[in-house]
Structures are given as structure tokens and as C-alpha cells.
Copies of this chain bind each other. A is one copy, B any other.
Amino acid sequence: MAETIIPQEILDTYFPKTSDLPIEQDDKRKETLLAQIRHRVELVNFWFIPPGSKVLEIGCGQGDTTLVLAAQVGEDGHVDAVDPGDPDYGSPWTLSQAQSQLKSGPLGHRITFHHAFPILFLESLFSPLSSSSTTQDSKPYTHIILSHSSFYFSSPSLFPQLISYITSLSSPKTTSPTSNPITKQTQICIAEWDLSATSPAQFPHLLAIMLQAVSEGFKKEGEEGDGNVRCVRSAKRMREVMRRKGWKVEREMVKDGSGLEDGLWEVGNVGRRKEGELERVEAVEGKENKEGNVLEMMYDVLDLSLGNVEGGAKGVEAMGVWVASFAREDF
């Protein structure tokens, strides 16, 4: 239905060999990037996004999915990609470096990056000050995408708040001085880790995610987490939120995560924070330190889980991914 997306072309266009990496390391780099691009292509294909679509991507990060979405929507489509993240955050490229790189490529004109909180961005669309040039005329969004972004939300209330707000915009009762950016035809498309480790090689990925969620859960109100994953919600709970707000599953699947290195990266993220975090919680006042004990337990369980993976930390595999698209219930 759309132009065929060739992962290799995306790789060659956006991630050409620029440094003097030894050939072996460059092959490894290519393999890693290709797996990520292929994964995003599969997500986007599953969501059925026809050419000419106008897409809002929430939590775009470095633009891994954004780029594939831009290829998918074709010359007549557009992607508004929103992320509240610090432009200097991220590795090996920061958010702003990665986004600039995509903007300067052949698909860049199909993408507008917005540095904003999602709900505030949606509100800004109604402001008379908002420039329509940032959002490809006044066409409503055909799809709203959350691709591996829900776990990064800073608090559990944000996801239901966001869905509530989108729902209110898609309601026929909504009147607006400008044309409505969301209609009852707008679909919501989600991809997120499925939290089901089917083998000992996937268990460390799950544990690294759980550890970060538990650590975040212990933070006091107003205490800012510096973690990566911050608020974990299973597919079942996301489905529940969607249903309560008036959205029904159109299609869903669990996609194999093999080949993706996210499990390995997540274990690395957690490992780098371990020492600092245990020092921080051990410095907490009071003779009982239940929080410190729980975090120690989780770090130890993660370490032990690596002992059950062939090849140790390097053999960690990514979990499966829940992929779904939702449409408004008839009203």
C-alpha cells in the first residue's frame, strides 16, 4: 500500500560509515542498526499507515521510529514527532544530534520535531499563536504513535491523562476555533515490551526494566528520577486504560524481539547506575532501610540471572514486543 521501505537503504542513507572503524566493528554496528530499522518497519507495517497519512508520534526520542514513519507516509504525508527529553540526552547521539541528522536527510522535509510535553503540544495546536507551518496545514492526525515510549513516561498518571485528552479531542462535542487535530477516525498505535521472558536469555532484560520501575516507585513525590525506564505498565493494563477511555483494539500481536540488543543495553544502563543508587539509598536516614534492601535484592537477582545466560551479559536477548492499534468505539 505504501512505498516499500528497504531497511538497507535507510541504513546507507542515514548511517553511512563515517569513522575509521575496523571493518569487523563496522559490520557489528550495521547489524545492530539494521535490526532496529527492521523492527521499526515491522511495527509500522502492522499499524497499516497508508501514504498521505498525517502522523503524530509521541515520545519519538532519537527518531528511530520517526524515520520509518516518514518513509511510510510518503511524499504527501507528514510526521509530527514530539519528545520532552533534554536535547543533550542520549548516546551515542544526543536527541538533538540524531534529530538534526534525520532532518538533513532525504526524508527530513516530511518530519517536524517538537521539543514539548505531549499534552502541552496538543494544547498548543489550539492556540492562535501556534504556527500551522509546523504541522503540515490543518489536516487532522490519522495516527497517533507511541513506539517504545510509554515506559519512559515520568509518572503512572500521564498515560491515562494523555489518552483522556486525546479522547476529548476526538469527541464530536469538542468545538474548537481551529479545525480539530484529532477526529473519530484517528487511530492510536502502541508498541511496548511485553514483559514476558520466555527464556533465561530474556530474563535479564525483564529484570533490568523491573528494577528501574521499582527504583522509580520508591522516589518521593517531586524527587526527579534520572532513570531511563520510569513507569512500566503491562499490555493488559494499557488495554484496560484504552477501553475505559473508549478505545477498542483493532489489531494486536506479540512480535519476537530476537536480534534487538535492547536487553543488553538495558542491563548496561542498570549496571552503570548500580553503585551510585545503592550509595544513595544506603545514606537514607532511619535504622530500617527496606528500600535499600529491596534494591540490593533486585541488583543481585539481575546479576544472578546473567549467570544463566549463555555467554553471560553479551548473550542477553530482548523480550517480545506487544504491538497494537486502537480505534474509537462507535459513538
Contacts and interface: CB of A to CB of B under 8 A. Distances in A.
A233 B198 CA distance: 25
Interface string A210-227: 100110111101000000
A291 B217 contact: yes
11 contacts: A157-B289, A194-B304, A195-B304, A196-B305, A197-B200, A210-B297, A210-B298, A218-B218, A221-B288, A232-B293, A234-B304
A305 B210 contact: no
Contacts of A298: 210
Interface of A: 155-157, 194-200, 203, 206, 210, 213-214, 216-219, 221, 231-234, 236-237, 286-294, 296-298, 300-301, 303-305, 307-308
Nearest to A304: B196
A91 to B, nearest CB: 26
A316 to B, nearest CB: 15
A307 B157 contact: no
A309 to B, nearest CB: 10
Given A286-B221, A290-B219, A232 B156 contact: no
Given A237-B296, A297-B210, A307 B196 contact: yes
Nearest to A298: B210
A156 B290 contact: yes
Contacts of A217: 214, 218, 290-291, 293-294
B194 A236 contact: no
Contact of A293 (B199, B231, B288, B294): B231
